[in-house]
Every structure is written in C-alpha cells, then in structure tokens.
Amino acid sequence: MTFRNPPPNASIATKTEGSKKLFAPSAERNAPAICNVLKSIALRQGNALELASGTGQHIVILAKAMPNIQWQPTEVDPDRITSIQAYIDETNCSNISNPLLLNATQSGWSTKLYPMDLISLSNLLHLISMSEAETLIAEAATALSKGGRLFFYGPFKRSGELISQGDIEFDKGIRASAPDTGYKNDHWVISQASQNGLVLAKTIEMPANNLALVFQKEP
C-alpha cells in the first residue's frame, strides 16, 4: 500500500527497547483529553473505528475506558500495525479487533467497514491534502451507522486563521515537506461533513490549541 509518510516533526514515534511497541510522546500527552470527549459522545455499546491509529497507544486506553464498545484500529503504515498489535497483545482487552491496514484517504473502504457507531480520527487532517481530506470525510460518513458519531481531533485553522506562533510554524513546516498539505480550516471541514449528511454536534477547544469536532450522521 502506498502512502505519504508524515514529516518527522509531525509524527514522532520511537522504538521501545525489547518490544515491537512504538512510543509517541504526543499520543501519551493527548490521550486523556481525547478519551474524555469520546466517552462523552460514545453510545453505551456498539462498534468503533479508529482511523490512523498510529502507535496503538490510544486504542488500548479507549478500549479499557469503554469496555462495551468493540474497537477496530487501522493504520496505513505496516510498522505501526506491528506496534498496535504489540500494544493489544499486552492488554487483556477482548474488545479490540486486530489492526487493519487501511489507507483512510483512498475511496472504497467504507463499504467494508459499515456500519460503525463511532469513528475517531486524531492528528491526520493537517498531514493530508484537501482532496484526500474530502475523500476521508466522505468515506467516514458512509461507514457510519444512522445516528453514528464522527470525532476529529487535531490542530485546525479557526475561521481561516492560524491562532498561535506555534501553529504558524508547525503549519509552515508541514507544508515545506508537502505543499498540498497543512492545517485545514474548521469551517471547511464542517462544510465538507455537512455535504456528506453529517451535522456538527459539538466544537470543543482542547489543550495545546487543538480542536475536537464532533459530528452526527442524520438518523
């Protein structure tokens, strides 16, 4: 599967000694805040899909916090699939399925994974192009069950503006590696979601200038 490698500063994950697990400091830092929002929007039970699961640090925390939900991790990078599996193997959680190799920006995956009650995507939209983001949003909308929820977390422009010096520099660094990528505007994401039958349910300011957008599919 071909995929675009994120720039090194946007996806730092290091090997852990004596294990196949990778460790991303940012995933460790943002997991509690992400988990809290997901807990507040998830149904009591159902199927949840995580796109771009990264190292696997998030999925084990989410599965432990929401044991009645069956979690499906996915990733485009085979090395990260190995890491996700290592995190799963270390837990006793029976509510995590084996990770699937999935390019979230490629058309067609939604039909294989439908119906999902919850879809979570953290820290990817700024690393892909607008047309890739359009495909990802359309596929996620199709994969959701009626009334299902979609959660996006990460850095975004607000009303077209980068909101801090750190965001200006991070966005510039990302676009220096891949000019067609970079921060997406919150209004643009909301409009794309709306065109795919998703209604904005919540906008939540998150730590470190990040944003969570929660959408619901029309029943």
Ligand X SMILES: C[S@@+](CC[C@H](N)C(=O)[O-])C[C@H]1O[C@@H](n2cnc3c(N)ncnc32)[C@H](O)[C@@H]1O
Could you list the residues that contact ligand X (CB under 6 A)? 3-4, 6, 10-11, 24, 26-27, 51-54, 58, 75-77, 80, 103-105, 122-124, 127
CB of residue 201 to ligand X, shortest distance in Å:
21
Tokens of 59: 């999925």
Nearer to ligand X among residue 106 and residue 194 (C-beta): 106
CB of residue 79 to ligand X, shortest distance in Å:
8
Tokens of 163: 């909101």
CA 115 vs CA 68, 76, 145: distances in Å: 16, 21, 5
Nearer to ligand X among residue 70 and residue 210 (C-beta): 210
Nearer to ligand X among residue 53 and residue 72 (C-beta): 53
Nearer to ligand X among residue 77 and residue 117 (C-beta): 77
What residue number has its CB nearest to ligand X?
54
CB of residue 120 to ligand X, shortest distance in Å:
8
Nearer to ligand X among residue 6 and residue 148 (C-beta): 6
Nearer to ligand X among residue 45 and residue 111 (C-beta): 111
- How many Cα atoms within 13 Å fall on the side-chain side of residue 25? 3
Integer distance in angstroms from the first to the last C-alpha of the chain? 34
CB of residue 50 to ligand X, shortest distance in Å:
7
CB burial readout 76-103, b (16+ within 10 A) else e: bbeebbebbbbbbeeeeeebbbebbebb
Alpha helix stretches (DSSP H) within 67-215: 78-90, 109-113, 130-143, 165-177, 186-195
Instruction: Answer for the pair 159, 187: CB distance below 8 angstroms, yes or no.
Output: yes
Alpha helix stretches (DSSP H) within the chain: 25-41, 57-65, 78-90, 109-113, 130-143, 165-177, 186-195
CB of residue 56 to ligand X, shortest distance in Å:
9
CB of residue 105 to ligand X, shortest distance in Å:
4
- How many Cα atoms within 13 Å fall on the side-chain side of residue 2? 0
